[in-house]
Amino acid sequence: MKQVSYKKLWHTLIDRNLRKNDLLNATGISSSTLARMVSGQPVNVEILLRICSALDCDFSDIMEAVPEGHRQQKSRIKNTAASFKENL
């Protein structure tokens, strides 16, 4: 099973020198919807269309499907690396 990742959206905002607040204002989405996206949860397609319209882009520019557990695996790797550095 796959899960959604909005990492591309966050990179797009950075590249365009925009903040998440700018995204909220431009699209009219709620802060709770944005929080769902930040945590990698799926949102309504209408929300995605609003974001794509505001940023003049396509779905593939703001999101992707990643293998389930991908976020947890990356998190474990970061924690292991941090722990390793502390023990040096």
CATH number for the domain spanning 35: value is 1.10.260.40
Q: What is the pLDDT of residue 2?
A: 87
Q: In percent, how much of the chain has pLDDT > 70? A: 78
DSSP string, 52-69: HHHHT--HHHH-EEEETT
Mean pLDDT of the chain: 85
Q: In percent, how much of the chain has pLDDT > 90? A: 70
- Which structural domain range is residue 59 located in? 2-86
Give the total number of structural domains in the chain. Answer: 1
Tell me the pLDDT tens digit for each residue of 63-82.
Answer: 999 998 765 555 554 555 45
The mean per-residue pLDDT over the stretch 41-50 comes to: 95
pTM: 0.74
Best CA proximity match to 8, nearest among 46, 54, 58: 58
